[in-house]
Amino acid sequence: MRFKLNSRLISAAVVGLILAFVINKSWGSASFFDSKNISTFLVVGVALGGIYAITAGGLVVTYATTGIFNFAHAAIGCFLAFFYWQVTVQWHVPTLLGIFITLGIVAPLIGIGLDRLIMRRLRDAALVVQLMVTVGLMLTFMGVTLTVWSPKTGRTLDHFYQQSKGIEIGSVVATWHRIITVIIALVVAVALRWLLYRTRLGISMRAVVDSRSLAGLTGAKPSIISGASWALGCMTAGLAGILIAPETGLVVENLALIIIVAAAAAAIAQLKSIPMAFAGGLIIGLATSFSTTFLSFGTDWNYAGEAIPSVILFIALLFLPQARLETGKVRLTKRTERLTKPWEAGLGGVVLIVIVGAWANGWIPWFTGTTFGERSAVWLGRGAGFLVFGLIMLSLVPLIGWAGQVSFANFAIAGIGAVLFSHFGGQNGDPIGIVLVMLVCAPLGLAIALPALRLKGLYLALATMAFAEFTDKVIIRHPSMLDPSNSGVLYKPLKILGFSISTDTMDRKAFVMFLIITFASLFFMLEMLRRSRWARRWIAMSDSPAASATIGVNLTTTKMVVFMLSGAMAGFAGCMLGLQTGALRVDSFPMFVGLPIVLLLAAQGVRYPIAAFMGAIGLASFPAISELFGNPTWLTQLALVGPGIAAIVMAYRPEGGVFYAGRDLAGLLPWRQDAREEKVLLEAKIRAENIGKDEINDLGLTRPFTAEKVSQLDRILDVTDALDEHPTTPRKVMS
Amino acid sequence: MKRYRLILLSAVLSVGLVAGACGRSGSDSENSTADPAKAASAACSKTTLEATDIGVSADTITVEVMADTGSALAPGLFQGNVDAMNAYAKYVNANGGIGCRQLKVEAWDSKLDPTESKNGIINACKTAVAMVGGNALFNPDTSVLNTCVDKAGVATGLPDYAALANDINEQCAPTAFIIQAVAESCTTLTGVRDLKAFVGTFEFYKTLAPSINALFLVPGDLPTTIQSATYQIAAAKQVGINVTDAMKVSGRAEQAAFTTYVQAIKASNDNMVYNGSNDVAMTKMRKEAAAQGLDSVKIWGCSLACYTENFKAQGTAVEGTYVWMQFLPFEEASSNAANQAYVTASNGKPDAFGAQAWQAGMAFKATIDSIVATKGANGITRAAILETMKTLKFDADGWIGARVGQKVFSECMVMMQMQGGKFIRVTPKEVGKLDCNPKYIATVKIDPQEAAKSVK
Amino acid sequence: MTPILETKDVVVRFGVLQAVSRASIEVIEGRVTGLIGPNGAGKTTCFNVITGLQEPTSGKVLFEGQDITNKNPYKRARLGIARTFQKLEVFGSLSARENILVAAEQRKTWDRSGFSPAAVCNEILEKTGLSDVSEFMVGTLPTGTARLVELARALASNPRVLLLDEPSSGLNEEETADMAALLRTFVAEGLAVLLVEHDMSFVMGTCEYIHVLDFGTIIASGTPPEVQANSAVQAAYLGTETVEEAS
């Protein structure tokens, strides 16, 4: 640790050299010393930067005042931008009144509603639950917006002062709208900074994040404060949405997915400094503009420009200071956990095989005939797809469920695995390729995690998301990975044990059987692993990194092992994904598709291997439900909203569906008195917690709020973490 | 949710809409398909109808329309295809039916997903006599089109009357009959090869300015879309357009990013911009040019991708943009019976995809009519359809240029221009006419993958 | 006697706030050493510095005379430093038995004495009286029991120095007495204990030597009677009392 400065210098030098190399190698025809180019670069960069900065600022404010990284931030902004369009363009409400209605009334209402219904329950929840719920919210807001405002209809929001010419800088015009955006982003950054550090409300907001009892000192009711925080967050989201929409067009994914860029800017700000978030936005805007103005990446790396935000996020992570070891945050919903015995796990695996085998052979009455059987080849093909997703989910159980490492990258790893398999043996139907792919994907899983291993869990989630984006835009698109002119089926049927396994109509049943047998085997393996010291160590690490370290656990190597295991499993799933898809395209693995996989697993219970199977069933249920209703248009958004809602429910059911279903079903058995007791205990515990919260809420209403207290709080908020003493807790003193 | 909608829009519009269909003017085409139709209805009365193949029962003919409609991020993307086919079935059934039977349309949502597209073909193979009016962007595995087994257990293949085939594998599938025709010769799909491109538009633009310096905006979301733009660029150069720059563009980009294109236009003093991407990209380009005070560009050209209600709704911001198409536009539906039938059936909401689906439906009906005329109403089998489509003469009753066979590169166009919020015909002047000329088709010899490297 | 563990002039600064300034503490084998002081005096920060969770701004941590200031927390654990936490840091979603088992299994990685983790685990469960609750998830146990689990877990890694951060907080009188008795048996076996505690009767009854920390500085060191007589110590404690009344 003594070498921290040096190691940072070294990384800076390395990153600098790599950047210099890339820039030198990709330098286009434009001259840097041409004032026209410079002015284009700057004006475009600052304009883009303003867009990113204003979103990032809101994101950081929300995080600082609620402790929750809100992936739905941009999606909420998107919804509000559409609402603003509805009010001003459709209903012809004057602009200022429209802004007031949107930002002054609707946005705070959404914020307070979110706080009441969802966010309040997330405060003490595990990171994975917090992340899943906000990602679920993002999908839900997108789905709702798409349902209310069909994208088939054309909509435009005019730029502010569109008619008047802006300021000419060099040979480029900076339009008023963009100037306003940048200024507002700056003003918002300064104002929010002032609000959070210099006003009673702001200090209370930050105090609530740190500790509810601490907030009592500020003389504020935590429940009101957190409502205010979410209202403020939604207002900043809406403000950003209204300013950005004229630039991006009123297109849901354009607006909602700005979150990826904003997250990179927020990482630069270490998720807490609003002025730095503004700077981070500018940096990304300028970098993007620099690359479009001066660089040309060539066809092999054609899409590298689009990956700039994710690369910047990675670089930012390298320079973040080492996080102090996190202390535990476990909310329990059960008293005992019975480890599955080997024979039970074995039986479970057999049951899975029997169920899926019976379905695949059409032996289950309702799932034959015209419902899901008449086109059995179709549903067998889909079934194979869901089982492949199930395998990806299974790869996440040890990683997220046990080791607590929230990763969104496994779908991307599977994508890379699928592509590699088309080079390593899949093209000839050679099973040895699967082993090779797993051998590559294991260290790959590790490499993704490396920059974030020493950081807080949230950064890992961001890093994996950035990696997924990078994979989609750069890795898969390299011609030596996936040759765009080779557009047909990339794989020959795989011959294993006399079966021919592929996506061909005749091979589909064998494929499903092969998948469920491997799924059941991996399920058994994981259940056995859970009984081993490895899983214990991972869970211990996840429950309390600090305590694990103090009993001698090397956190880094322990994490590395689980990442490699998970990577290898994802690689295997990737081979199957390739076989199941048959023909791959460069855009077959967008980051976005990986989200519902993680979401549905988490909703089922990320700690339990069986949840991967239930998650796959969950995925299958959306097209099945849609088909039962005759694929009506009002169910189109089910693919977005379904996983979204499932994840949001986690705010109420953090352990996941599998757990609650298992307990409640067991409670129906006359001899399972323990399960019934368990439930009563849990309810009593929740009641007690709620009473505790109410007490805290009543605290502090009459407390004086002196400058001294403010500075004391400020000091605490800046310097202490959970490992330090709580100087505010009254203690018995020497008699 | 499966994929980004933007990719799709630009992908579709760039790849597919390079071409159209061949033809003459609308007025003198009546007799080409009318005769078999009359013969067909005459044949019906004297036959006891039988179930002759999968999808052909004694009283109905079932076809499947497969289109990307239910993807969560792009809901209703190609709903136009499905709506048009349903409307076409109604129209046909109200006007005497097809092959002495009623036409039944089953819809399949391919969800922008290769697996669902393949499933759609598998489903059609089991339930429909043919696929008609489809538009599935990601349809790379068309093996079932070739191996599909008919009622007799023979692998005859499945006829596919696609409105638009974006995927090269579907374009080159032997059982495909495609309205929007194909630039590839399908002999080889890699390396240097002959590719067709439509240059009638460029010939027209040349009449607007003595010399043309052009910036090409290439739909940049996918390597394939960039590559397909390269033959158009090569063809433009071949006919004397000075292409100063070809740059990738995306409808997803913020408008501020378009400043870069404006600067490029200024730098090489371009007087023309041609957009191969979608209407969103074109709108942003026009708005940014205005914001930057750019006035050197005299010609704003866009592909059929701009022939949308959304684009029209942009009003003055896109005033003067040229848009070209290879069928008679909806604005003058009254000049052509088929066009009018579609526009009426679409409840006043016609779109280019729906029009092509309707045309695919007409091509299918023309095939059936021809079979009934020669083999009788019980001669309708997939084998017969596949045999007949090879030499089918078709012009959608004059709505598109006349064509023979499954895949044709049209030599016809109509050039429209945005004027006062409306699309106004600029050439040929006469309403109801297509401008057809063999010279409008250029053949370029390039390797698109190599050529794509020069796109910035 | 040479101390097994000592800190030399440790300074920890958070921004402008000096949490610990030039603190030197000695811990000797077979003895319970106390570290006391008012709230915010920097006691837990000292613990964090010793166990490697907090990097000192300057100063040294020595274990058996060897400088371990730059060693990772897990390496210090392997040398034989174990601790408990003021704010409970149990592995809440593991059972009490698994909590102890994890530590015992982890010890396998550096202790080659051929012990059986399961046997060690049972032995400790027995000793600490946790056998009855061994299958319950620790997160659901009452605080007093959970503190015992934390202690048991620390013992499972067979430490030579044990750092206890307010072991009696959340415990009733009876439990506190049990804890004190338990401690004495371990110390009798040669374990060195460093204890942070607010319960003065517990401290005075258990510790043989005491360091007093106030505003990050050691203001007094000595045996319990010496410390109790120290005027600076009394002032420091009286000072805090008034602050608390005000809050």
What is the spatial distance between Cα C195 and Cα C103, in angstroms, rounded to a whole number? 21
Domains B5-187+332-404 and B193-327+411-454 share a fold: yes
Which two three-digit tokens encode residue A65? 């005042």
ipTM of the complex: 0.89
What is the spatial distance between Cα C73 and Cα B149, in angstroms, rounded to a whole number? 69
How is A486-531 classified by DSSP, letter by letter? --S---PPEEETTEEESSSGGGHHHHHHHHHHHHHHHHHHHHHHHT
Q: Does A300 touch chain C (CB under 8 A)?
A: no
Q: Does B268 touch chain A (CB under 8 A)?
A: no
Lowest-confidence segment of A75-84, A274-283, A366-375, C3-12 by average pLDDT = A366-375
Q: Which of residues 605-634 of A touch B (CB under 8 A)?
A: 626, 631, 633
| Chain A residues within 8 A of C110 when measuring between CB atoms | 552
Produce one character per residue of A198-231: b if its CB has 16 or more CB atoms within 10 Å, e if not: eeebbbbbbbbbbbbbbbbbbbbbbbebbbbbbb
What is the spatial distance between Cα B250 and Cα A716, in angstroms, rounded to a whole number? 48
Query: Of A459, A361, A346, whose CA–CA distance to A407 is shortest?
Result: A459
**A582 in the same domain as A694:** no
Helices and strands, counts by H and E, chain B: 15, 17
What is the overall mean pLDDT for chain B?
84
SS3 of chain C: CCCCEEEEEEEEEECCEEEEEEEEEEECCCCEEEEECCCCCCHHHHHHHHHCCCCCCEEEEEECCEECCCCCHHHHHHHCEEECCCCCCCCCCCEHHHHHHHHHHHHCCCCCCCCCHHHHHHHHHHHHCCHHHCCEEHHHCCHHHHHHHHHHHHHHCCCCEEEEECCCCCCCHHHHHHHHHHHHHHHHCCCEEEEECCCHHHHHHHCCEEEEEECCEEEEEECHHHHHHCHHHHHHHHHHHHHHHHC
Q: Which of C135, C153, C198 sits opposite A336 (nearest CB)?
A: C135
Topology of the domain comprising B193-327+411-454: Rossmann fold (3.40.50)
First to last CA, chain C: 44
Q: Count of CB atoms within 10 A of residue C225's CB?
A: 10
Question: ∠ CA(C160), CA(C166), CA(C170), 5° rounding?
Answer: 130
Phi, psi (degrees; rounded to nearest 5) at B412: -115, 155
Which amino acid, residue B192? V
**What is the pLDDT at residue A120?**
83
- DSSP 3-state assignment of B215? strand
Regarding predicted confidence, which is higher, C57 or B188? C57
| Chain C residues within 8 A of A2 when measuring between CB atoms | 70
How far does A473 lie from chain B, in Å, by closest CA? 10
Q: Does A725 touch chain C (CB under 8 A)?
A: yes
Residue A587: pLDDT band with limits 50, 70, 90: confident
Q: At what angle do helices A533-543 and A508-530 cross, to 10 degrees?
A: 70
**C92 in the same domain as C62:** no
Q: Count of CB atoms within 10 A of residue C65's CB?
A: 9
What is the spatial distance between Cα C198 and Cα C34, in angstroms, rounded to a whole number? 10
Q: Which of residues 230-259 of B touch A (CB under 8 A)?
A: 248, 251-252, 254-257, 259
**What is the pLDDT at residue A364?**
74
Q: pLDDT tens for residues A506-563?
A: 888 889 999 999 999 999 999 999 999 999 999 999 888 889 999 999 988 999 999 9
Which two three-digit tokens encode residue C109? 């990685």
How far does A178 lie from chain B, in Å, by closest CA? 8
Q: Which residues contact A392 (CB under 8 A, 6 or more apart)?
A: A410, A411, A414, A570, A573, A577, A597
Q: Which residues contact A690 (CB under 8 A, 6 or more apart)?
A: none
Indicate the DSSP class of residue B377: G
Question: ∠ CA(A503), CA(A507), CA(A513), 5° rounding?
Answer: 100
Lowest-confidence segment of A99-113, A601-615, B35-49, B135-149 by average pLDDT = B35-49
**What is the pLDDT at residue C239?**
56
CATH number at A564 reads 1.10.3470
Q: pLDDT tens for residues C92-143?
A: 888 899 999 999 999 988 888 888 999 999 999 998 888 888 888 888 788 8
**C65 in the same domain as C124:** no
Domain that holds residue A608: 378-668
Produce one character per residue of B28-46: b if its CB has 16 or more CB atoms within 10 Å, e if not: ebeebbeebbeebbebbee
How far does C152 lie from chain A, in Å, by closest CA? 11
Query: Of C208, C209, C233, whose CA–CA distance to C220 is shortest?
Result: C233
Q: Does C58 touch chain A (CB under 8 A)?
A: no
| CB of A281 closer than 8 Å to CB of A57 | yes
- DSSP 3-state assignment of A79? helix
Q: Does C43 touch chain A (CB under 8 A)?
A: yes
Residue A295: pLDDT band with limits 50, 70, 90: confident
How far does B348 lie from chain A, in Å, by closest CA? 14
In chain A, the number of structural domains is 2
Q: Which of residues 209-228 of A touch C (CB under 8 A)?
A: 217
Regarding predicted confidence, which is higher, B42 or B336? B336
Which range scores top for mean pLDDT: A108-112, A117-121, A198-202, B417-421?
A: A108-112
Domain that holds residue C102: 88-158+179-186
Query: Of B37, B58, B59, whose CA–CA distance to B368 is shortest?
Result: B37
- Residue listed under structure tokens 């440790």: C10
**What is the pLDDT at residue B414?**
92
A450 belongs to a structural domain: yes
**C154 in the same domain as C92:** yes
How is B359-372 classified by DSSP, letter by letter? HHHHHHHHHHHHHH
Helix (H) or strand (E) holding B419: strand B412-419
How far does B269 lie from chain A, in Å, by closest CA? 14
Determine the residue of chain A that is closest to B189 in CA distance.
Answer: A485
A286 belongs to a structural domain: no
- DSSP 3-state assignment of A194? helix
Residue A716: pLDDT band with limits 50, 70, 90: low
Residues (pLDDT < 50) of chain C are 240-247
Which two three-digit tokens encode residue A506? 């005749």
How far does C92 lie from chain A, in Å, by closest CA? 6
Residue A82 has pLDDT above 90, yes or no: yes
Residue A107: pLDDT band with limits 50, 70, 90: very high
Q: Does C139 touch chain A (CB under 8 A)?
A: yes
In chain C, the number of structural domains is 2
**What is the pLDDT at residue A344?**
86
What is the spatial distance between Cα B97 and Cα B83, in angstroms, rounded to a whole number? 18
Please state the rounded mean pLDDT for residues A27-44: 80
**A444 in the same domain as A513:** yes
A341 belongs to a structural domain: no
pTM as predicted? 0.87
**What is the pLDDT at residue A728?**
35
How far, CA to CA in Å, does A281 sit from each of A39, A234, A309, A515?
19, 19, 10, 45
Q: Which of B119, B189, B313 sits opposite A381 (nearest CB)?
A: B119
Question: ∠ CA(B215), CA(B221), CA(B224), 5° rounding?
Answer: 90
What is the spatial distance between Cα C181 and Cα C171, in angstroms, rounded to a whole number? 14
What is the spatial distance between Cα A393 and Cα A616, in angstroms, rounded to a whole number? 8
Q: At what angle do helices A274-294 and A308-319 cross, to 10 degrees?
A: 130
First to last CA, chain B: 29
| CB of B274 closer than 8 Å to CB of B217 | yes
What is the overall mean pLDDT for chain A?
82
**What is the pLDDT at residue A396?**
95
Q: What share of chain A is helix, strand, coil (3-state, %, to 5)?
A: 70, 0, 25
**A596 in the same domain as A507:** yes
Determine the residue of chain B that is closest to A376 in CA distance.
Answer: B123
Kindly determine whether residue A718 and residue C78, on different chains, have CB atoms separated by under 8 Å: no
Kindly determine whether residue B141 and residue A580, on different chains, have CB atoms separated by under 8 Å: no
Q: Does A683 touch chain C (CB under 8 A)?
A: no
Q: Does A293 touch chain B (CB under 8 A)?
A: yes
Query: Of A224, A242, A283, whose CA–CA distance to A53 is shortest?
Result: A283
C116 belongs to a structural domain: yes
Kindly determine whether residue B222 and residue A36, on different chains, have CB atoms separated by under 8 Å: no
Name which of A699, A725, A732 to mutate to probe chain C: the one with the most chain C Cβ atoms within 10 A of its Cβ: A725
C142 belongs to a structural domain: yes
Lowest-confidence segment of A200-209, B216-225, B253-262 by average pLDDT = A200-209
Produce one character per residue of A653-670: b if its CB has 16 or more CB atoms within 10 Å, e if not: bbbbbbbbebbeeebeee
Which two three-digit tokens encode residue A166? 């802006």
Residue A698 has pLDDT above 50, yes or no: no
Q: Which residues contact A379 (CB under 8 A, 6 or more apart)?
A: A372, A373
Q: Are strands B60-67 and B130-134 parallel, antiparallel or unpaired?
A: parallel
**What is the pLDDT at residue B20?**
35
How far does A372 lie from chain B, in Å, by closest CA? 12
Q: Does A732 touch chain C (CB under 8 A)?
A: yes
- DSSP 3-state assignment of B68? coil
Please state the rounded mean pLDDT for residues A386-413: 93
Q: Does A5 touch chain C (CB under 8 A)?
A: no
Enumerate the domain spans of chain B.
5-187+332-404, 193-327+411-454
Determine the residue of chain A that is closest to C203 in CA distance.
Answer: A734
Q: At what angle do helices A673-698 and A657-668 cross, to 10 degrees?
A: 130
| CB of B379 closer than 8 Å to CB of B108 | no
Identify any residues that bridge with B63 across adjacent strands, giving them in sequence order. Answer: B105, B130
What is the spatial distance between Cα B378 and Cα B371, in angstroms, rounded to a whole number? 9
What is the spatial distance between Cα A113 and Cα A106, in angstroms, rounded to a whole number? 10
Q: Which of C45, C93, C199 sits opposite A724 (nearest CB)?
A: C45
Determine the residue of chain A that is closest to C86 in CA distance.
Answer: A725
Which two three-digit tokens encode residue A25? 């190698």
Q: Does A298 touch chain B (CB under 8 A)?
A: yes
Please state the rounded mean pLDDT for residues B372-390: 89
A300 belongs to a structural domain: no
Touching subunits of C (3+ CB pairs, under 8 Å) are: A
**What is the pLDDT at residue A690?**
64
Indicate the DSSP class of residue B325: E
Identify any residues that bridge with A501 across adjacent strands, giving them in sequence order. Answer: A494
Distance of CA A288 to the CA centre of its chain: 23
| Chain B residues within 8 A of A171 when measuring between CB atoms | 263, 266
Regarding predicted confidence, which is higher, A212 or A356? A356
First to last CA, chain A: 42
**A686 in the same domain as A662:** no
Domain boundaries B5-187+332-404, corresponding CATH code:
3.40.50.2300
